[in-house]
Amino acid sequence: MRRHARDGRYGSMTAVPTVSRWWNSRTAPQRIDLYTRWSFYVFLAGLPVLALAVIGAAVEGGAPTAGSWLFLAGSVATAAVAVQLTRRGLAAHLAARPLPGRLTVLAFCTAGATAAGGVWAFAGSGASVAVPWSVSLPLGAVLLACSTVWSTRQLIAPAVGVGALSGLATSFTGVHPAAAVVQGVVMVAAVLFVVLAFRFTVWVLDVVLEMDRTRGVQLQLAVAEERLRFARDLHDVMGRNLSVIAVKSQLAGELVRRSRPGVADEVADISRIAEESLKEVREVVRGYRTTDLAGELAGARSVLRAAGVACTVQGEGAAAGLPEPAQVALAWVVREAVTNVLRHSAAADCGITLVRTDEEVELTVSNDGVTGAPGAGNGLTGLRERLAGAGGSLHAARDGDRFTLTATLPAGGAT
């Protein structure tokens, strides 16, 4: 018994991290989409509960009538149709399509029948408060579902119409006309407030999705800029050398035709230039042509800022005194870290810090916006092996949505 109780207790505790990991694995647009969607669903699912409150106010401690039960059943049906209309409406909104016509008509017909049933059930009971709510709740619920697609301007007129119907239905209970008008105005304000509040959440979802699309475009521009830089470097390297090879080849050809001396020297120069060109092309491809650590830090700042990520670099001056092996190893760390920031996070801020002491050199790259569970990819594994060969180490840690990568090299190898 104890073991079963303990297992049950720990089993319930493990559910919390699981839900947390599930939520953290979603991107910001996915989280906003879930929040918006379930805000609609939960509110609409509460329509029968509100209908029960209206019935309770109408019967005032007495037994509910048959009309009251019909109103409750109609509220359940209206909630079900409204939830379906909301689901279809959100999908139509993301695809820039209108609401499904038949489902919208069905929803308003169901809500209208429920409202009529509520007026029939409560108008003769003397419950003047229950009547306007019996009209506003079902019709307002359908209008709430329509707010997924309809604009604010399109929602105002129907909301005023719902309030007017509520005031008209209130007049059937025998209250003073002024009281009916006031009740109608109150219903207009209540329906407009709720509907426009949910319309605002849809607008927020649009803004987040647009920002996500903009970020994707910025990343593509950053990649395009890097490709242009690579093409420019390749052109600078190969253009000059190939021109020299072409000129020397022509010269060697003329010397051969005229039987002049010096052909062997020209051919040797052509071979030497070709070998140098091959070496330079390899250096460009590998990124070693400008891969001193200071240049890599400057490039990281440029690429991240082009992608919309605020980047700060501290201790950049310490890179100048490092030997080439240390600079190459740390430059690879910077390059891999920046790649991970762009590909595996929705970062808005990234900090790069280089610290050199008498004992070691430490490079830290920290960014926010981490989504999903961190994994040991091939890039980090390769960095660990590269740093281990130089006597250094690599440490990766995550704190909430912030990821920190720390590379350490002994000062003896950096002097």
For the ranges 230-239, 286-295, 324-333, 379-388, the lowest mean pLDDT is seen at: 286-295
With both helix axes pointing from N to C terminus, report the angle between 130-146 and 47-59 in degrees, rounded to the nearest 10.
170
CA distances from 34 to 19, 30, 188, 214, 355 (A): 14, 6, 29, 21, 42
Q: For residue 374, give the DSSP letter.
A: -
> Is 238 part of a structural domain of the chain?
no
Q: Give the per-residue pLDDT at 414.
A: 46
Name the token pair of 138.
């079902």
**Model pLDDT for residues 225-249, shown as the tens digit of each residue:** 777 767 766 666 666 667 667 777 8
Residues 294, 184 share a domain: no
The runs of H, that is alpha helices, within 310-365 are 324-344
CA distances from 315 to 115, 194, 235 (A): 70, 53, 33
Statement: residue 4 has pLDDT above 60:
no
> Is 313 part of a structural domain of the chain?
yes
Domain boundary (165, 188, 216) is at 216
d(CA 235, CA 279): 14
With both helix axes pointing from N to C terminus, report the angle between 101-122 and 47-59 in degrees, rounded to the nearest 10.
20
What values do phi and psi take at 147, rounded to 5? Answer: -65, -10
Residues 166, 58 share a domain: yes
Residues 79, 179 share a domain: yes
Statement: residue 384 has pLDDT above 50:
yes
> Is 202 part of a structural domain of the chain?
yes
Residues 314, 212 share a domain: no
The runs of H, that is alpha helices, within 60-151 are 66-94, 101-122, 130-146
Domain boundary (162, 182, 216) is at 216
Residues 204, 96 share a domain: yes
Residues 204, 352 share a domain: no
> Is 284 part of a structural domain of the chain?
no
Burial of 185 (0-12, 13-18, 19+ CB in 10 A): middle
Residues 209, 314 share a domain: no
For the ranges 46-55, 117-126, 154-163, 368-377, the lowest mean pLDDT is seen at: 368-377
> Is 390 part of a structural domain of the chain?
yes
d(CA 408, CA 404): 13
**Model pLDDT for residues 267-321, shown as the tens digit of each residue:** 787 787 788 777 777 776 665 444 568 878 887 887 787 667 888 998 888 877 7
Residues 206, 102 share a domain: yes
Cα-trace Rg, the chain: 35
> How much of the chain, in percent, has pLDDT values that exceed 90?
25
Q: What is the CATH number of the domain that holds 351?
A: 3.30.565.10
Residues 326, 204 share a domain: no
Q: Which amino acid is it at 362?
A: E
239 Cβ contact partners less than 8 Å away, ≥ 6 residues apart = none
DSSP letters spanning 143-155: HHHHTTTS-HHHH
At 371 the three-state DSSP class reads: coil
Print the domain residue range for 339: 290-415
Residues 328, 182 share a domain: no
Domain boundary (181, 216, 251) is at 216
- Please give the model's pTM, rounded to 2 decimal places: 0.57
DSSP letters spanning 225-264: HHHHHHHHHHHHHHHHHHHHHHHHHHHHHHHHHTT-S-HH
> Is 107 part of a structural domain of the chain?
yes
Residues 206, 97 share a domain: yes
Contact 413, 391 (CB under 8 A): yes
Name the pLDDT band for 9 (thresholds 50, 70, 90). very low
> Is 276 part of a structural domain of the chain?
no
Count structural domains, the chain.
Answer: 2
Name the pLDDT band for 41 (thresholds 50, 70, 90). very high
Residues 209, 329 share a domain: no
> Is 414 part of a structural domain of the chain?
yes
